[in-house]
Structure 1
Amino acid sequence: MRRTSFPVSFMAMTRSPHSATGSGPHLAAAGAATSAGSLAPFRRRLSTRIVVLSTVVLAIVLTMIGGTLWLSWQLEGAGAAINDAGSLRMRANAVAIELWESRQGRPSRLDAQIDQLNETLHQLHEGNAARPLFLPDDVLIRRQFDRVATSWHERLEPAVQRDRVLGVGAPSAYLALLPGFVDDANHLVVLIERENAHKTAWLRTSQIALAALSCVGTVAIVYLLYLWFVVPVQRLQDGLARIEAQEFDTRLPVDTRDEFGHLAQGFNQMVAELQALYQDLAARVDVKTAQLAAQNRELRILYEMAAFLNTPGPVEPLCRDFLMRLMREFEADGGTVRIASAEDDNLHLLVAEGLPEEIVRAEQCMPAHDCACGAASAEEPVVVVDLRNLVAGAGAKGRMPAMSDAEREHAQYCLRAGFASVAVFGIVSQSEPLGTFSLHFRRERDMPPSEVQLLQTLGRHLGVALKNRRLAALARQLAVSEERNLVAQGLHDSIAQGLSFLKMQVHLLDGAVADGNLDEAREIVPLLAGGVKESYDDVRELLLNFRSKLESGALRPAVDDTVARFRRQSDAELTLDYRDEGGPPLPADQQLQVLFVLQEALSNIRKHAEAQHVHVSVVNRRDFRLTIEDDGIGYDPAEIAARGEAHVGFHIMRERAKRLAGTLTLDSEPGRGSRVELVLPAASRKAA
């Protein structure tokens, strides 16, 4: 096996540890004295060096370990081959003994011994990776094995077959050939043992090399880590000590591009700044103080504006307060907030402060691109510094295309009103332009990039606030629409059917009165009275259901009231099993949906089930479970499924369960009662 040694040139490529000492100029001289050619391969990040070094060492170690494992596996397989090759002699002698017993007319296991010897030869020839067992891959060993196998199959095995039919006194051809076969088997064993001894020597050598490599590699890694980490840290410590002694001309050599090289660059920059600060400390303190004050002002404005925009309220007062705050903070003389319309692609003036009535009337509604205010609704923030130069064709800062006649006209409005400059920014929510806001100044106003960025951020905050109010309004409209849909479904399921029945009875009553059939009229009048009473009861029940309003923890009293109302309206016996077994309370909206499902189920039972007993179970564990069972006439689930949404009561309950993200199960058979189960899993429960 080839021995692997740690390359000396690898260690030679690192810089000398003695280059870290010396004064400031001496530090630079020591770094420049390092060989550029030896450092070039390591001008990279420390993490890259460590990964490369670890990968190389790991690859070498794994290769050597794999080699030793392969050798040990070869030795194990060859050891098994030695055992089986040696057993050939024993089995050949056993065949001779069994052959003699057979010729004496005694019972023998001659065929079994022959089969075992053949099996041993087959195993040696084919090998067995599971044991493991295989002959070494050597020409002499393979040749000797072929000689042994040929001797057995072509000479000894046929001799056995001939000897077993001879008498006791006849000479045995097998015994005459046996010594030669045993000698060949012995020679095969010797060859395998010799090859095994050779591989054992290789295994010892590789283990010694692995141990040596571990020692050398450990020393080399420690040395490299010393060069890569300890030396730069010592150099930095020496530089810091000199800075503490106020030697501000100290500079560290930057001879690597790794993290310590960047750190040395930062150190040198820090020392240069310190040196400059000592030279002009007062001026720099004033500049830093002004920058800090500006940043604090920006943070204060952002914080106050974000807190203000998160308060609820109508859109117009919100935009007006937003504009007034900006005008006060930036000392603007006027301002506007314009909202983009999705229908006509125009900008509508929502709020205007400090502008003459002429501008307010002229710009109440204008196309989106007619001036800078419109351009900001589709482009990046536009900052116009000098309106006079802008009208003349120069002086616009920001992304402004060439001015059209309409844009010049709007700019003239501002100039006649006495405004010298205007700053315009977009109101944006998630890249969707919602409008613009502008600040007007009667003097030339230069707006630095920090203020531009601040106003752009405030425009995004206002856009988010406006978008949230639009979404909240849409959510309220959707909730009202859904609730109206449920009310309509409830009316259709109860009142509409009752009125249809009454209409039919009135038609029959009219026909009976016209025919003078008083007996039929007397029969119809009670039906009309009953239908009116049932419709009246349905109306009262719907009013009670849709006026229900729960607060957190009020589900049990509401369930008790619903059960009590059912007992008053129906002759069926109702039992309630309400168990609160440690589950968290449901929030008010989920409680209300659960109550609606219970009311709808009991209403269906009262109207259609003809039940004698009703059982209601409410179990509040980790999962919330509501079950309503009755012993009424039941229904055919296939018929209900075929009717689809025509059975409004079931459809309403399914919609309620869908709102809860729960599971509604409807189970029934004709004549066997019905069962309604609502399960609200823990994952769908909201915090109360």
Structure 2
Amino acid sequence: MRTKPTLTTKLLAMGAGFLLVALASIGLTLWVTWKLEGGAAAVNEAGRLRMNMLRMVLVLQTEPPAAVQERARQFDVSLDLLRTGDPSRPLFVPWSHETRTRFDGIRSQWAVARAGWVSSLPPDRAQILAEADAFVQQVDGFVDAIEIQIAGWTAALHLFQLFMMALAIVAAVTFMAVSYLLVINPVARLQQAQARLRQGELGTRLPVDTDDEFGQLSAGFNLMAHALQASHDELEHKVREKTASIAVQNQRLAALYEVSALASTAGSLELLAQGFVQQIRRVAGADAAAVRWSNEANERYVLLAGDGLPRTMAEGEHCLHTGTCLCGQPQAQARTRVIPITPSTAVALPHCREAGFETMVTIPVQMQQRLLGEVDLFFRSPVEMTDELRDLLEAMTRHLASAMEGLRATALEREAAVAEERSLLARELHDSIAQSLAFLKIQTQLLRDAVARGDEVKRDRSIGELDVGVRECYSDVRELLVHFRTRTSEEDIESALRATLSKFEHQTGMATTLGMVGHGLPLAQDVQIQVLHMVQEALSNVRKHSGATRVDVLVHRHPRWRFEVQDNGTGFDTASVPPDSLHVGLGIMRERAQHIGAVVQVESAPGQGTRVCVELPSVAPAQAVASTQAAASAPVAVPQPVFTS
């Protein structure tokens, strides 16, 4: 099978042809020039024959015979040179019929003349001159014949040079045309296609018209463009897939963010459930949704919130016993399920089937292996739950469970705080008003006995004691009111201390001072409250028992918080006061200090006043608050409410 020549073969063949033509033309020109040079040298040699003939005539008339023979011998050498030629000079006679006839005539005439001239008796002068003139005319004819031949060669050379000029022009035009067709045009098309490809026209293709190198380049360019277009299309497809995946992820993140925001802002379980059921219905594309709450024993499910539920269904399934219907699965079987509702499906309650729902999705609300409730999604068409949607719904449900548990923990914290405040109030009442009322009760009984016996002295003394006891009880009530209404500052405790001392000074008439030493981070608000209550307890003890006229409060902020309450009263023996005594409030102060990790120290001696020092731990206030909150938010075994139908 014959193959077409390649571009390299074509270019080499064209170049070889041009080279052969050029070499042939140059060789022919050199050969013609060489011949012309040889003919010109032959003309010069023939002219030398004329000159030698004239010298021969002179030699015949004046020189001896030996000189004539020498001159004749040189004449013979010249004739022989014209006959044979000399390539080295070069010297060639352009032989033709005319030149050869003329040369033969010259030789024959020279032979006749030589025979007479070299004899012992040379001819006379007139004969010699006649023979010489005839010989010169013969030589002139020979020269004319050579010149005619040379003129013909010169004319042929000029015609050949004109032909070569025309051939050069035609060859140049042909080379440019062939170069344009075979090289320039394919290169230009390749550049244009590359420019279009660079501009984004990935469908650009080149026609493959030949099997040469440019045809192979065009085929390779087409393969490259096809691969690039396929890669670009595949890349666009992957980008679209990734974009869609990112959009789905963004929707999931947005849904989770909305659930988290709802969990952080909802103030009650009902608001949380109502907001969540609307969001999960929108995310799942369900026709209706419901959130059910289960009691701790998982005996029944109560409908907390619903969205899109028919009224009859909401009222009829407000409270379901566990396992009685498709909703309300037992804790042991709690998992995400897709349940088709068909005419053959066994349901205890017909509400969902009567509402036209064909598919139900149940998602358990679980927190730490404890079932809190269930989320039900209802669809009026068959639904296939994808893994991504299942993960999203379960993640949203876990957020709901965390939010429910957070609301429960917050409620328990509030309940614990109320219980603690009630306990504190009970201790305060017991240590102050209750004891005063008990004393008043005893004095009332003594007064009744004194009146019954008619003992006026004891009667008056009991009345005086009752008056003093009522006044003290009234003072204790006012002090408790001031004590429980005191608030702290979020930044510094100094303002609260100054307000407390101002009220104490106004009520008792004692002089007070407050000193703040050093600089430190502000205390947390709950720590401030506990410290302020302990300072108020110390001031209350000063008012009740010290008999002092002056109280000094000194606060050290650095390196740790320390509060000192110093009075100039009578003092007491600390060894005589039991550690668990509540008579002077030391027990209450120690309980408060224990909550925040502080230490209470009491220094006193009879007649030297009393100094009460409250020193906080060296840990950062934020850490102390965190530990206090962690202790307060520890799990408490509080029974959950029981829902009944």
Give TM class, smaller chain: 0.5 to 0.7
The Cα shift of 1:672 comes to 5.1
Whether the 8 Å CA contact 1:302–1:458 is kept in 2: the answer is yes
Whether the 8 Å CA contact 1:348–1:365 is kept in 2: the answer is yes
2:321 corresponds to: 367
Do the aligned partners of residues 580 and 377 (structure 1) sit closer, same or farther apart at CA in structure 2, a change above 3 Å counting? farther
Whether the 8 Å CA contact 2:573–2:605 is kept in 1: the answer is yes
Partners of 2:300 and 2:242 lie apart in 1 by: 45
Partners of 1:564 and 1:469 lie apart in 2 by: 41
2:244 corresponds to: 290
Partners of 2:403 and 2:228 lie apart in 1 by: 46
2:365 corresponds to: 427
Query: Is residue 545 of structure 2 the alignment partner of residue 608 of structure 1?
Result: yes
Query: Is residue 632 of structure 2 the alignment partner of residue 678 of structure 1?
Result: no
2:263 corresponds to: 309
Do the aligned partners of residues 580 and 633 (structure 1) sit closer, same or farther apart at CA in structure 2, a change above 3 Å counting? closer
1:514 corresponds to: 452
- Equivalent residue of 1:422, what SS? strand
Residue identity opposite 1:303 in structure 2 = Y
1:590 corresponds to: 527
The Cα shift of 1:275 comes to 11
Query: Is residue 613 of structure 2 the alignment partner of residue 659 of structure 1?
Result: no
2:61 corresponds to: none
Q: 1:545 aligns with which of 466, 476, 483?
A: 483
Partners of 2:571 and 2:296 lie apart in 1 by: 54
Residue identity opposite 2:588 in structure 1 = I
1:448 corresponds to: 386
2:335 corresponds to: 381
Deviations 1:342-371 (A, max 9, x none): 156321111122223343233222233334
1:649 corresponds to: 585
Q: How does 1:481-520 map to 2 (within 5 A)?
A: 481-520=419-458
What's the TM-score, normalizing by structure 2? 0.57
Partners of 1:645 and 1:545 lie apart in 2 by: 21
Whether the 8 Å CA contact 1:584–1:622 is kept in 2: the answer is no
Partners of 2:330 and 2:251 lie apart in 1 by: 25
1:111 corresponds to: none
Deviations 1:2-27 (A, max 9, x none): xxxxxxxxxxxxxxxxxxxxxxxxxx
Partners of 2:522 and 2:489 lie apart in 1 by: 11
Whether the 8 Å CA contact 2:450–2:459 is kept in 1: the answer is yes
Partners of 2:475 and 2:236 lie apart in 1 by: 88
Whether the 8 Å CA contact 1:368–1:377 is kept in 2: the answer is no
Runs of 4+ in 1 over 6 A off after TM superposition: 273-276
The Cα shift of 1:308 comes to 2.3
1:336 corresponds to: 290
Whether the 8 Å CA contact 2:548–2:569 is kept in 1: the answer is yes
Query: Is residue 284 of structure 2 the alignment partner of residue 347 of structure 1?
Result: no
Do the aligned partners of residues 593 and 629 (structure 1) sit closer, same or farther apart at CA in structure 2, a change above 3 Å counting? same
- The CA RMSD over aligned residues, in Å, is 2.9
Do the aligned partners of residues 289 and 562 (structure 1) sit closer, same or farther apart at CA in structure 2, a change above 3 Å counting? closer
Partners of 1:640 and 1:315 lie apart in 2 by: 51
Deviations 1:158-177 (A, max 9, x none): xxxxxxxxxxxxxxxxxxxx
- Equivalent residue of 2:265, what SS? coil
The Cα shift of 1:683 comes to 0.8
The Cα shift of 1:627 comes to 1.0
The Cα shift of 1:598 comes to 0.8
Deviations 1:171-214 (A, max 9, x none): xxxxxxxxxxxxxxxxxxxxxxxxxxxxxxxxxxxxxxxxxxxx
Do the aligned partners of residues 683 and 287 (structure 1) sit closer, same or farther apart at CA in structure 2, a change above 3 Å counting? same
Unaligned runs of 5+ in 2: 1-226, 626-645
Partners of 1:293 and 1:556 lie apart in 2 by: 54
The Cα shift of 1:633 comes to 4.4
Whether the 8 Å CA contact 2:489–2:495 is kept in 1: the answer is no
The Cα shift of 1:471 comes to 0.8
Whether the 8 Å CA contact 1:349–1:364 is kept in 2: the answer is yes
Residue identity opposite 1:527 in structure 2 = E
Residue identity opposite 1:373 in structure 2 = C
Whether the 8 Å CA contact 1:335–1:439 is kept in 2: the answer is yes
Partners of 2:547 and 2:483 lie apart in 1 by: 22
Give the number of the structure whose alpha-carbon radius of gyration is greater: 2
Partners of 2:484 and 2:392 lie apart in 1 by: 49
The Cα shift of 1:296 comes to 2.3
1:194 corresponds to: none
Partners of 2:263 and 2:621 lie apart in 1 by: 31
Residue identity opposite 1:540 in structure 2 = R
- Equivalent residue of 1:686, what SS? helix
Residue identity opposite 2:587 in structure 1 = H
Residue identity opposite 2:593 in structure 1 = A
1:618 corresponds to: 555
Q: How does 1:133-144 map to 2 (within 5 A)?
A: none
1:579 corresponds to: 516
Partners of 1:684 and 1:645 lie apart in 2 by: 31
The Cα shift of 1:539 comes to 0.1
Whether the 8 Å CA contact 1:377–1:427 is kept in 2: the answer is no
Residue identity opposite 2:374 in structure 1 = T
Q: How does 1:49-88 map to 2 (within 5 A)?
A: none
1:532 corresponds to: 470
Deviations 1:493-532 (A, max 9, x none): 1101111111111112212222233343223222211111
Do the aligned partners of residues 298 and 531 (structure 1) sit closer, same or farther apart at CA in structure 2, a change above 3 Å counting? same
Q: Percent identity?
A: 37
Partners of 1:553 and 1:278 lie apart in 2 by: 62
Do the aligned partners of residues 648 and 385 (structure 1) sit closer, same or farther apart at CA in structure 2, a change above 3 Å counting? farther
Whether the 8 Å CA contact 1:377–1:434 is kept in 2: the answer is no
The Cα shift of 1:543 comes to 0.6
Residue identity opposite 1:370 in structure 2 = T
- Equivalent residue of 2:585, what SS? helix
Whether the 8 Å CA contact 1:377–1:435 is kept in 2: the answer is no
Residue identity opposite 1:488 in structure 2 = A
- Equivalent residue of 2:423, what SS? helix
Count of residues in correspondence between the two structures: 399
Partners of 1:513 and 1:647 lie apart in 2 by: 32
The Cα shift of 1:311 comes to 1.2
Do the aligned partners of residues 353 and 645 (structure 1) sit closer, same or farther apart at CA in structure 2, a change above 3 Å counting? farther
The Cα shift of 1:291 comes to 2.7
Do the aligned partners of residues 277 and 459 (structure 1) sit closer, same or farther apart at CA in structure 2, a change above 3 Å counting? farther
Whether the 8 Å CA contact 1:513–1:521 is kept in 2: the answer is yes
Partners of 1:556 and 1:507 lie apart in 2 by: 47
Residue identity opposite 1:364 in structure 2 = H
Whether the 8 Å CA contact 2:492–2:523 is kept in 1: the answer is no
What's the TM-score, normalizing by structure 1? 0.54
Residue identity opposite 1:309 in structure 2 = A
Partners of 1:678 and 1:624 lie apart in 2 by: 8
2:396 corresponds to: 458
Whether the 8 Å CA contact 2:582–2:588 is kept in 1: the answer is no
1:300 corresponds to: 254
- Equivalent residue of 1:494, what SS? helix
Deviations 1:34-90 (A, max 9, x none): xxxxxxxxxxxxxxxxxxxxxxxxxxxxxxxxxxxxxxxxxxxxxxxxxxxxxxxxx
- Equivalent residue of 1:683, what SS? coil
Do the aligned partners of residues 629 and 349 (structure 1) sit closer, same or farther apart at CA in structure 2, a change above 3 Å counting? same
Do the aligned partners of residues 302 and 481 (structure 1) sit closer, same or farther apart at CA in structure 2, a change above 3 Å counting? same
Partners of 1:648 and 1:284 lie apart in 2 by: 80
Q: 1:471 aligns with which of 375, 391, 409?
A: 409
Bigger CA drift: 539-548 or 318-327?
Answer: 318-327
Whether the 8 Å CA contact 2:440–2:469 is kept in 1: the answer is yes
